[in-house]
Structure 1
Amino acid sequence: MIDQELELYDVTIIGGGPAGMYTAFYSGMRDLKTKLIEAKEELGGRMRIYPEKMIWDVGGVTPTLCGDLIKRLEEQARTFEPTIVLGQQIVNQARQEDGTFILTSATGEQHWTRTVILAIGYGILQMAKLEIEGADRYEVTNLHYTVQELEPFRGKHVLISGGGDSAVDWANELESLAASVTIVHRRDQFGGHEKNISRMRASSVKVRTPYTVSQLHSNSGETIDQVTITHAESGESEQLPVDAVIVNHGLKSDFGPLRDWGLEMGEWWAKVSPKLETNLPGIFAAGDFVDYDSKVRLIAGTFTDAVLALNSAKLFMDPDAPKYAYVSSHNDRFKEKNKALGVIDDH
């Protein structure tokens, strides 16, 4: 039974990363009553892990710090004043007799909506920890799983363990700042973007493969002073002096009760149609959470997902509606906003 105090929304977006924020903006362009719900206490999603990382691949945006891009996306998301709810993890959905949905959070709050767009990325993320006994004691000093600021590493001897995008990116970012950067990876091949890997290999970064970090050593018991790395094939080991250790072993994903909704899902993604429809009518998805044949796993691709998912939601509610929003220069929703910016619109 629907609580009479609940307010009905056209679209409820679950997830406040780049996919969710851009969906909220575009939903406003389509004049829909919009709510965005984020499990954490701030918007940004996975991007919050790397605020000091430089983002190069967003169209029309010059190289920008990830933290700054989050601010711009949030400002854009609020353009049409959607309702934004923070600190609520949605765990259950129930379709009503009239086809609407009641969404329920882990702490019991309810939300009423005509359609749902899932922009939850890889679910609740946790950093994969360094599997060495006693490693956690150094997390308060010089063992890092995220890099919030670059300056603390200036003039330091830094060891990075990992071989994906993040490990390669941090090696490149720190190369000109740190006294030395050594990257240790258990395979000879790295999983980052080709251009970034080439840049790293051509720089002063010391690449040690195939090696793993096998021991941490401390003179004081408070900070790591040396690291033992072990060759993955020969078993030979050596010790390296360090001032800081950065571990980028990937993320562990947990979709929690979402897996009980009846969605067609793999280990990491939900299968969707080319129109970003899930197998559940009225529920759509966008961003890192989705998989389809032409999926582009870049932030730019996430924006396209957001548009496609929202257009599908609009047509689900109103099959006679235009298939997409007019461009901003011809969209009535921007006329008053242009006036506020001092722009004279003669069209």
Structure 2
Amino acid sequence: MTVKDITIIGGGPAGLYAAFYAGMRDLTVRLIDTQKSLGGKVHFYPEKLIWDVGALPAVTGAKLIDQMVEQGLTFDPEVVLNTKITTFEKTEDHLFETVSDSGDTFLSKQIIVATGGGLFNPKRLPLQYASHFEEANLHHNVYRLNHFKDKKVVIVGGGNSAVDWANDLLEVAGEVHLIHRSETFKAHEFNTRKLWNSDAIIHTHTLVKELIPDSSGQYIQSIRVRNNQADHDELIELDELIVNIGFDNELNFHHNPALKFNLKDDYYIEGSSRAETAVEGVYAIGDILDFEGKVRLIAGAYNDAANAVNQIKLALDPTAEEKAPVSSHNDKFNDKNQEKKERYYL
């Protein structure tokens, strides 16, 4: 098995930038992610505009993912997808052996934990229904607004995501219903007020009781809902059903007592501004890391990543420079600069 300088656990903004910066420092990288594609939680909002990434005007989540991945793979890190890490430990050779839930093992000299908010799986309706509905017209996220153009859409949920999607879909869908178990929404006040003043049909104190398929059994044709306040049932026909009632966090390897992390709120890894943790040789970056003065923005994740990689470089080579030369004066980019010039200017 190939021993890498760094194993990065998590392929979101922090992990991708760490992979890029490690390449600038001539470090070999293995990047592991639980999902089938890189990009992290930005996949949850592919069509939303992101305004707060330095030097980038408003960019959609999908475009940001494309750009992050392109940059993150600049120096050809090994990428391992669909792999959930359950633990890691030091070997007798003073290497880290990282273990997946399927029993695969990976060896590296140092570890970077870049798991963000962790692995989040969407909560499903507490009903019995055919799993293939989730491949048809039952969704837990909105990836392309145009998919819902002129359709009758029912959204279940009362948080920020559900309210945001309801407001956005009103601009393209033919009809939008929002079903919420309460009359109090856990969403930003401005967006909630906008929804109440819109043409959306809002069902409060209402729960979904049954998904009713069409004659083929492949699609959901309607749902039966119960209004608990009025104590009556209603059938709502639909074209598309979106369920956004929260996520379950499955990240748990850092709760392993053998790793001896210091945790805040039983989740975040407490560390230093240089991304160090209580476990020697293990660094944390991005949202999973907590320290005084922490900035929970993508820009802050990039800073964490550079700090972690610089610490690792010095740990592996005490004679190295403290930081990588900036790209405008870094010989590693000479050939790449020439390629870009030929592509864009010639």
Q: Is the 8 A contact 1:269 1:289 kept in 2?
A: yes
- Provide the residue aligned with 1:13 in structure 2: 8
Q: Is the 8 A contact 1:161 1:248 kept in 2?
A: yes
- Supply the distance in 1 between the matched residues of 2:174 and 2:141 (Cα, whole angstroms): 20
- Provide the residue aligned with 2:262 in structure 1: 264
Change (3 A) 1:164 1:303: farther
- CA drift of 1:179 comes to 1.8
- Supply the distance in 2 between the matched residues of 1:200 and 1:330 (Cα, whole angstroms): 51
Identity level (%): 37
Alignment of 1:189-268 (within 5 A): 190-192=185-187, 196-197=191-192, 200=195, 203-209=198-204, 211-216=205-210, 218=212, 220=214, 222=217, 223-228=220-225, 230=227, 234=229, 236=231, 239=234, 241-243=236-238, 244-260=240-256, 261-265=259-263, 266-268=265-267
Residue range with higher mean Cα deviation, 109-118 or 72-81: 109-118
- Provide the residue aligned with 2:166 in structure 1: 171
The one-letter code of the counterpart of 1:113 is S
So what's the TM-score if we normalise by structure 1? Answer: 0.81
- Asked if 1:329 is matched to 2:324, the reply is no
- Provide the residue aligned with 2:31 in structure 1: 36
Q: Deviations over 1:92-149 (max 9, x none)?
A: 3221345432223334443222210011234433210112344867545433222333
- Supply the distance in 2 between the matched residues of 1:89 and 1:341 (Cα, whole angstroms): 36
- Supply the distance in 2 between the matched residues of 1:219 and 1:7 (Cα, whole angstroms): 50
Q: Is the 8 A contact 1:214 1:230 kept in 2?
A: no
The one-letter code of the counterpart of 1:255 is L
Gaps of 5+ in 1: 1-5
- CA drift of 1:199 comes to 5.1
Residue range with higher mean Cα deviation, 123-132 or 71-80: 123-132
Alignment of 1:106-125 (within 5 A): 106-125=101-120
So what's the TM-score if we normalise by structure 2? Answer: 0.81
- Provide the residue aligned with 1:3 in structure 2: none
The one-letter code of the counterpart of 1:305 is D
- CA drift of 1:74 comes to 1.1
Structure 2 counterpart SS, 1:46: helix
Gaps of 5+ in 2: none
Residue range with higher mean Cα deviation, 121-130 or 297-306: 297-306
- CA drift of 1:17 comes to 1.9
Change (3 A) 1:332 1:165: farther
Q: Is the 8 A contact 1:158 1:242 kept in 2?
A: no
Structure 2 counterpart SS, 1:225: strand
Change (3 A) 1:180 1:104: same
The one-letter code of the counterpart of 2:227 is T
The one-letter code of the counterpart of 1:335 is N
Q: Is the 8 A contact 1:121 1:288 kept in 2?
A: yes
- Provide the residue aligned with 1:48 in structure 2: 43
- Asked if 1:282 is matched to 2:281, the reply is yes
Structure 2 counterpart SS, 1:341: helix
